[in-house]
Amino acid sequence: MGTAAPSPAERQQPTRPRGGSRAAGVALAVILLAYCAYAAVFIYRTSFLVDGKRCFCLFDDAMISMRYARNLAHGQGLVWNPGGERVEGFTNPLWVLFMSLFHLLPIPAYFVSLPIQISGALFVLLAAVCVGRTAYALSDGSRLAALSATALTAFYLPLVNWSLQGMEVSVLAALVAVSTHRAVRSLARGDFSPLPYVLLGLAVLVRLDASVVLVATMLWGMSADRRHRARHAGWGIAALALAVGSQTAFRLSYYGDLLPNTYYLKLSGYPASLRVLKGLLSLADFLQRLPWWLLLAAFLPLAWRRDRGRMLLVTLWCAQCLYSVYVGGDAWEWWGGANRYLAIVIALFFVLVSLGLADLVSWALVCLTNRPRPLAYAARAAGAALALAFLAASNSFSPTSLRQWLLLDPPLLRADNAANVKTAELLRAVTTDQALIAVSWAGAIPYFSDRRSHDLLGRCDRHVAHGRAHGIAEWTAADWFVPGHLKWDYDYSIQKLQPDVVLRDISAGRAQKTAFRACYQPFHLGQQEIYARLGSPHLLWAALYRLDAEENRRLAGKHAPT
């Protein structure tokens, strides 16, 4: 009796090589265990000592979300200042809710960031495993492709940094990786799964601009899977409408705004053309720093292997690149590597790189089919060595990146976090509970000082966010354009609100400087220079003068001749 011919769906399933599965399993276990150890050391390296106590602190933007989360958990509402104006100064609502769960537990303030960092590490681990499976499926069972994609993702410094310092990048990267794997798997089987749209709907609840990935996935599904085109459209539109609609309804009822405050801060008040130009320059700089052979490995095979699964990865990657251009890039482009918008899809780029590597090794093996077996082993060894070279090259985007990747230098902004937490502790010692603090670092200082705060740069202030940006009259401004950091109004922030302490050098016009200096006196608070409002009843002046004298004596001793 003859054997039935395989169905089209079965023919699209990846072919599993018979040998080497045990070695590949051991290699995967080694990669994942190495990542866990690496993440543990990285998280510890982000911590620091404050007055002899170990402190864990997230990236400063994430600490803004933590302040909202703590106030929500303590029954004070989803606000930045307890009892203050309702302003949506965060961009990650579901992540804030996740953070609030840990504030319900009896965890000291110095340690509550640690479980957030561990969660980020686990999400990156999930993303790495999923992209490995995606690479395995799209390469017809290449274990080299799977292991390479897993390692490149797990050890990519920007993804690790943003994720393990508390940003929502980790969960977004995981949701994108899982949804992409499920979409590729469903396409190979010839069926339809709504799971990618459910997961990407959750991603939109994590961060509104994840709508870009959802819409791109829907458009790809309608084009690549015409048999289920209507279902792709229906589920995509439903997930988008539910996620965006629910957020908008809540925002209108609770905050009274149609869009988050950060939208008005970052995307209004200056020419859109300037923002797009900055985004183009940032993207060009990112691509220029990538080794050309990484780009070649990722995109050259598409010239002869335009399978629908690979095109999903290309579609999502290009969509996020365009979105990064549209918003003007990130505020931390100077650091290098993938910014926070590209980091959530960088794993898909690494899958493309790994597929190109697998194609190269497969071609070499075909050429060596009739040669001695040691030559075939040598081809595989060369592929593994090339994968390690890809891993090192992907993290060589600045003069200091390799040292940070190898954990020889501390992670990004750890010194600033330590200084801000120390400043927050000193502010608690020289102010009363009623004091108002004006800050430009709006994360760690307000969180750890537990004082009412005003954000001079407008992320948590509606008036400043809706104003006009400064210094953007010429096209040459694109070179130093920083999204979200070009708006301030000192007449409003200083003269009207009259904060008790200002933690920023006021480099405004002469009239503003004169008025400011007439009402404020500079002091040294630790190694931070602050301005205290004269006559404020919310300042403990004796403690402030004592700390200022101590710092002056320290500085005098430091600069004394030896």
Residue 5 lies in a domain: no
Is 228 a domain residue? Answer: yes
- Rounded CA separation 119/18 (Å): 36
Rounded distance, CA 451 to CA 428, Å? 8
SS3 state of residue 256: coil
352 and 445 belong to one structural domain: no
Q: Which helix (H) or strand (E) holds 525?
A: strand 520-525
- Quick one: 177 and 134 in the same domain? yes
Residues 426, 398 share a domain: no
Considering the domain boundaries, does residue 62 fall inside one?
Answer: no
Listed residues 372, 405, 438: the one ending a domain: 405
Cα 221 from Cα 513, distance rounded (Å):
58
Beta strands in 117-274 (DSSP E): none
Q: Kindly state whether residues 353 and 455 are assigned to the same domain.
A: no
Write out the H or E segment, with its range, that includes residue 289. Answer: helix 272-289
388 and 494 in a common domain: no
d(CA 152, CA 394): 8
Burial (0-12, 13-18, 19+ Cβ within 10 Å), 409 = middle
Residue 136 falls within a domain, yes or no?
yes
Residue 381 lies in a domain: yes
Same domain assignment for residues 160 and 260:
yes
Residue 482 per-residue DSSP state = -
Cα–Cα dist 211/213, whole Å: 5
520 bridge partner residues = 533
What's the pLDDT score for residue 281? Answer: 92
Q: Are residues 275 and 370 in the same domain?
A: yes
Q: What is the Cβ-side half-sphere exposure of residue 313, based on CA atoms within 13 angstroms?
A: 27
Domain count, the chain: 2
Q: Are residues 457 and 350 in the same domain?
A: no
Strands 436-439, 501-503: pairing is parallel
Angle formed at CA 442 by CA 440 and CA 446, multiple of 5 degrees: 120
Statement: the pTM of the whole predicted model exceeds 0.85: yes
Per-residue pLDDT of the chain (562 residues; tens, 9 = 90+): 344 444 444 444 444 444 457 888 899 999 999 999 999 999 999 999 998 999 999 999 999 999 999 999 999 999 999 999 999 999 999 999 999 999 999 999 999 999 999 999 999 999 999 999 999 999 988 899 999 999 999 999 999 999 999 999 999 999 999 999 999 999 999 999 999 999 999 999 999 999 999 999 999 999 999 999 999 999 999 999 999 999 999 999 999 999 999 999 999 888 888 889 999 999 999 999 888 888 888 898 887 777 899 999 999 999 999 999 999 999 899 899 999 999 999 999 999 999 998 888 777 666 655 555 666 666 667 777 888 888 888 888 888 889 999 999 999 999 999 999 999 999 999 999 999 999 999 999 999 999 999 999 999 999 999 998 886 655 556 667 787 888 999 889 998 999 999 997 666 555 566 777 789 999 999 888 899 999 999 999 999 999 989 888 887 776 666 5
Last residue of a domain, one of 387, 405, 423: 405
Residue 110 lies in a domain: no
SS3 annotation, 233-250: HHHHHHHHHHHHHHHHHH
Residue 437 and residue 304 in one domain: no
Q: Which runs of E-coded beta strand occur in 123-233? A: none
- Residue 266 lies in domain: 119-405
| Domain end among 342, 372, 405 | 405
HEC assignment per residue over 414-425: HHHHHHHHHHHH
- Is residue 86, in this structure, part of any structural domain at all? no
Distance CA 529, CA 553 (A): 15
Pair 499, 387 in one domain: no
What confidence score (pLDDT) does residue 181 get?
Answer: 97
Instruction: Work out the burial of residue 157: count CB atoms within 10 Å of its CB; fewer than 13 is exposed, 13-18 middle, 19 or more buried.
Output: buried
Kindly list the distances between the CA atom of residue 174 and the CA atoms of 5, 199, 343, in Å, as whole numbers in the listed order.
37, 10, 11
Residues 137 and 154 in one domain: yes
**Are 180 and 233 members of one domain?**
yes
Domain annotation covers residue 48:
no
Q: Three-state DSSP class for 526?
A: coil
